[in-house]
Amino acid sequence: MRFFDASCRLGRPAAFGEGMPWQTDEILEIMARCHIDGALAYHIVAREGETQDGNELLLREIAQIPQLQPQWCALPATYDEFLHADALRDAMKENGVRTLRIAPKSFAHSARPYAMKELMGFAAECRVPVFFDYGEAPCDELYEICHDYPDVSFVITNTAYALNRWLGPVLDACGNLYLGTGNYVPHRGLETFCKYYAADRLVFNTNLPTGSATAAVSLVCFADISKEEKELIAHGNIERLLGEVRL
């Protein structure tokens, strides 16, 4: 079985645990060890500092690394601090960027339509999947985002174990929500998800370098689900979402 990681991060973090591999070649070593063929990657400078500069840094960092595809961090262009929709479309097309990552809590902006209408309108029109960490919009906020933008495919990453009862009703209500499997570790979490929702809404990711690729791969390999479901989770679903992007 081959894996494609729908979300990992590059760049030097402000703080990192002892032995944490954060350099790009270390990330690539782990990917190889875990048989992960490719990954969508964003840059920590874009996520935690200068968004546009960080996105540029990312492009330079992965220019010679075919396994890594760029994921750009995005925020509303309210103060022209980020690209407006037309320019964003051109820039993404030019640079082969097919997904965006938002962080409304960290970037301190509303995720509601009065603030995000332009960006989310672009994502809906171009079928660009939008990623965000669960902590950026937990619980009811997750529902609000998915409900406010029904034509945008959202992938939540960096989830946790005590999530089942929060997540289920949102999945019921919002067909545009996808779950990144990295660190989704409730007991029998993937089996329960497949039984009640469907494997086609699960997207393999690692959350590297803060997350564990070895754990993420193991979760899928040992899940008590069919081989076809595992293939969808491991790579099929993200490949389908990426294939639907129209820039």
Cis peptide bond prior to 209, omega within 30° of 0:
yes
Smallest separation, CB 47 to other proteins (Å): 17
Q: Closest approach of Cβ 222 to other proteins, in Å?
A: 4
Angle between helix axes 213-222 and 24-33 (nearest 10 degrees) is 20
> Which residues partner with 177 through β-bridges?
154
Q: Are 51 and 79 in contact (CB under 8 A)?
A: no
The correct pick among 52, 67, 106, 210 for binding other proteins (CB under 8 A) is: 210
Rounded CA-CA distance 131/179 in Å is 10
CB 190 within 8 A of CB 225: yes
- 123 touches other proteins (CB under 8 A): no
Instruction: List binders of other proteins among 23-42 (CB under 8 A).
Output: 30, 33-35
What are the angstrom distances between the C-alpha of 122 and each of 90, 100, 173, 234?
Answer: 12, 11, 23, 28
Distance between CA atoms of 147 and 192, rounded to whole angstroms? 23
Which of 139, 222, 243, 244 forms a contact with other proteins (CB under 8 A)? 222
Residue 144 carries which side chain, given as an amino acid letter?
E
What is the helix, strand, coil percentage profile of the chain, to 5? 45, 15, 40
Closest CB to other proteins among residues 49, 186:
186
Site string for other proteins, 144-183 (x = CB under 8 A): ----------------xxx-xx-----------------x
Question: Which CB, 1 or 87, lies closer to other proteins?
Answer: 1
Please pick, from the candidates 208, 232, 233, 238, the single residue that binds other proteins as defined by CB under 8 A.
208
In terms of CB distance, is 3 or 82 closer to other proteins? 3
Size of the site for other proteins (CB under 8 A): 40
Binding site for other proteins (CB under 8 A): 1, 17-21, 30, 33-35, 160-162, 164-165, 183, 185-190, 192, 208-219, 221-224, 230
